[in-house]
């Protein structure tokens, strides 16, 4: 009976992890930016602009690197390409884990449960790397001071506000569920190996 409960919660957490990954990586609200400033030609009028950045699509950061040389563009595409490859490997790992767990039911093979659990853990680790690379991009690579200086040429009292969006916060939740599901399936596989 306990084994059935562990399998149920492992499958539930695995499905939640996959769903959260799909929503997080498929939506465009990883970064939310608000720009407030008084621009030339508009007297006594404060201009407020909202931007958003998705995981795949760049809606705002093009202004940050426009004035710099082409080496930054090359770095941008290599960097983003690297985290997209990690994300695709994570998707392959999580889909593989799901198929392995489906094939393992009901108690057919402890090896399939262990392989499925290992794949869920691998997916969680790959998605963790993706999130860390995104945070490094936002905190260290994107040059906010240059962007602010460039915008202040035309706008007085220009202040950008940069916040992580709801899409960004779904990814760590998916990572948690994927890792927890993987651990549950490893325990199930170990239990089946010992007792059956």
The predicted pLDDT at position 45 comes to 56
pLDDT tens figures, 113-124: 999 999 999 999
- Domain annotation covers residue 150: yes
Structural domains in the chain (count): 1
Sorting pLDDT into bands at 50, 70 and 90, what band is 156?
Answer: low
CATH code, domain with 78: 1.20.140.150
Which of residues 88 and 36 earns the better pLDDT score? Answer: 88
- The per-residue pLDDT for 68 is 46
Tokens 């983003």 identify what position? 80
- Residue 94 counted as domain residue: yes
pLDDT(160) > 80: no
* Cβ-contact 133, 79 below 8 angstroms: yes
How confident is the model over 69-97, as a mean pLDDT? 76
> From the CB of residue 54, how many other CB atoms can be counted at a distance below 10 Å?
17
Three-class secondary structure of residue 109 per DSSP: coil
- pLDDT band of residue 63 (cuts 50, 70, 90) is very low
Q: Does 171 reside within a domain?
A: yes
Is the residue at 196 inside a domain?
A: no
Give yes or no for residue 61 having a pLDDT over 50.
Answer: no
Tell me what percent of the residues of the chain surpass a pLDDT of 90.
Answer: 27
Q: Please check whether residue 149 lies inside any domain of the structure.
A: yes
**What region does 166 belong to: left with phi over 0, alpha with psi -120 to 50, or beta?**
alpha
CA 188/CA 196 separation, integer angstroms? 11
Identity of the highest mean pLDDT range in 22-26, 43-47, 80-84: 22-26
24 found inside a domain: yes
Res 93 pLDDT > 50: yes
118: in domain: yes
Its domain, for residue 85, covers 2-191
Question: What's the pLDDT band for 126 if we cut at 50, 70, 90?
Answer: very high
């Amino acid at each position: 009976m306990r084994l059935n409960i562990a399998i149920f919660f492992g499958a539930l957490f695995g499905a939640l992890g996959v769903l959260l990954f799909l929503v997080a990586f498929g939506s465009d609200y990883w970064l939310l930016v608000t720009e407030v400033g008084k621009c030339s030609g508009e007297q006594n009028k404060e201009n407020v602009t909202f931007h958003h950045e998705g995981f795949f699509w760049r809606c705002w950061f093009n202004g940050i690197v426009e004035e710099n040389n082409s080496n930054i563009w090359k770095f941008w595409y290599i960097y983003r390409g690297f985290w997209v490859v990690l994300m695709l490997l994570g998707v392959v790992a999580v889909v593989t884990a799901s198929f392995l767990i489906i094939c393992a039911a009901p108690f057919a093979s402890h090896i399939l449960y262990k392989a499925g659990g290992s794949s869920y853990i691998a997916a969680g680790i790959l998605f963790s790397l993706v999130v860390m690379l995104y945070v490094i991009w936002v905190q260290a690579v994107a040059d906010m001071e240059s962007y602010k200086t460039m915008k202040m040429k035309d706008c007085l009292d220009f202040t950008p506000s940069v916040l992580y969006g709801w899409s960004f916060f779904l990814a760590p939740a998916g990572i948690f569920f994927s890792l927890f599901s993987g651990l549950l399936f490893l325990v199930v596989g170990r239990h089946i190996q010992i007792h059956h």
